A and B are shown apart, each in its own frame.
Chain A
Amino acid sequence: MIRERIFISFLALVITVQLLLLVGGHREALRDDRVGVSAKRELVKRLGLTDLALWTEARYTRHPSQADLFTAFQDFPASFDHFPAGSIIAPDPAGLSTTLQVRRASARGQK
C-alpha cells in the first residue's frame, strides 16, 4: 500500500499547491481589479492610450489598433513582414459573414 499512499500524497500535494496558487492568484486579480485597474484606467483615460506598449519595433506593432488597414503590408503590398510580432498578430478573418443577392426584376421574370 506504500506506493499508493506515496502516489496519492504526491497528487494531493501538487493539486493543493495548484489550488492555493489559483486561489491566491484570483484574490490578487480581485485586489488588482479594485486598486490597480482603476489607476491604470485613469492613466489610459488621461493620456488617451489605445494600445499596450509591448512591441516598439514598428508603428503597426506598437499601435495595432491604430495601424493602417493593410497593416502586414505596410511598406508596399505583398511585402514580407519584418518582425516576429507580425506573425503573432493575425489578420481579421477574411470574407463575408452574410451575403445578399440582388437581381434585376426582369432576370427574375425570365426564370
Chain B
Amino acid sequence: MDKINIKNSFLIHLLPLLYPLIILFRLNSSHTKYLPELYAQAHIFNNIPNIEILIISLSVFILILNLYFFKLLLERFEIDNMQKNISLLLIGLTPVFITSFFYLNLISLSFLFFLLTIYFQDKKISYLTAFMSALVWPISSIFVLFYSKYTKKKYQLISGFLGLITIMLIIHKFPALSFFSSHSFSRFVAEFGNLQGYSLPILLISVVGFAINWFNNKKHFKIYIFFILVFFVSTYFKSLIFPLSFVISFWAARSIKFLYEKKWSLPTLKNMSLFIIFCLVLLSTSFFIKNLAAASPSLAEKEALTWMKENNHQGIVLSDIGNAKIIKYFSENTPFVDDNIFTDNNLAIAKTIFYSRDLVQVEELFSANNISYIYIDNKMKTGGIWTDRTQGLFFLLKNSEKFKNIYNSKEIEIWRYKQEQK
C-alpha cells in the first residue's frame, strides 16, 4: 500500500526551513527583502538590532512547532502514516502557512497553543495553553471554546473564556495593541489574489475527504458543521484561514489516500488522477511563490518613502490601506488609514476624499484631519481606487493649486497639501 508513503516524517515538519529562500527570489525581482507585515513589526521594536532576522527565525521556529505538534496529534488519533505525512506536506505548501514565515504571525502562535491544549488535554498545563491561545489572538478562542465544550473539559473552557475576556479588556484599554484586522476581502483563495489565502487545489481536493468523513462518521457531525461555519466566516475574517488550513489539509490528505487505496473500476484513471493532483498542487505552489516574490513593496516604493523621510516631509499621509505599514516603516509618517479596527471611521473619510471632485469638501476634510501628504502607487492609479485622471481626488490634484507634486517616478506620486495657516 505504502509505495508513496514517506516512512520518516521528520523532514516534512522541517519544511519551513526552506521558506527563507523566497527572500532571494524577491531580491532578484526588484523588490524589498520583506513584506509590509514584517516592516510593521520591525517598526515597533526598531531599537533591537537585526530585528528582521530575529522575527523571521522566530516565525520559522513557530511554524515548525505547529507542524510538529500537529503531527503528534495525528499520531495520537491513530491517523495512518500516509494520511499524516500527506497532511503535513499539504499544510507546508499552503499559501497562508508559507506567508506566515515572513512576520511574527500571532495566529500561528495562538494556534500552537491550541494544539498544545489538545496535546496536553488532561494535564493542568492545558489550562494555561487554552488561556494563552485566546489571549494571544482573541478569535482563536472559538476553537478553544468549541474544543473544550465538545470534549466536556470545563477547566479549559473557563481558561479560554478568561483569556478572551482579558484580551478584550486590554484591547479596550489600549487599542494600539490590537494586532488583528477585521477588514473584509472578497478573495479568500491565494490563486485569486490573496497571498494569505487558501490554496485552491487543496481546498477542492479536501471536499472529497470531507464528504468521505461526513458519510462514514456521522456521529461527529457537530464538528463538521462547526468547520463549515468557520469556513464561511473565514471568507470574511482572513485570520481564520490559518487554523482552518490545517483541517483542510487533513481532509485533502484523506481524499488522496482514498483515491490511492480505492479499487477503481477504470484502473487507468487511478494513476492519472493522482498524477494530475500532484501537478495541480505543484503548479499552485510554484505560482504562489512567484507571486510572493513579486509582492509589494517594490524598491521604487521603498525609495519614494525613504525620500520622504530624508527630506523631512513629515505628517499624516493619505494612501491606500495596504500601504499603511510601509508608510510607517520607511517614511516614519503616520498613515491616515491602517488596518486597525478602531480607526474605521478614517476609512470612510478617506473614501469620501478619494472619490470627491468637490474641492471645498476635500479641503475641509484635509484640514479637519490634518492630512499633509498623498501617496499614490501604481495599483491605486490602475483600478485600485481610480481608473482615470478625471476621477475624484486624482482630478483635483492636477487642477488645484492647493496640491503640489513633490515626488514623481514611474510608479509613485507623492503630493503635498498646503494646510491653511490658522
A-B complex is real: no
Interface set of B (CB-CB < 8 Å, partner A): none
Interface set of A (CB-CB < 8 Å, partner B): none
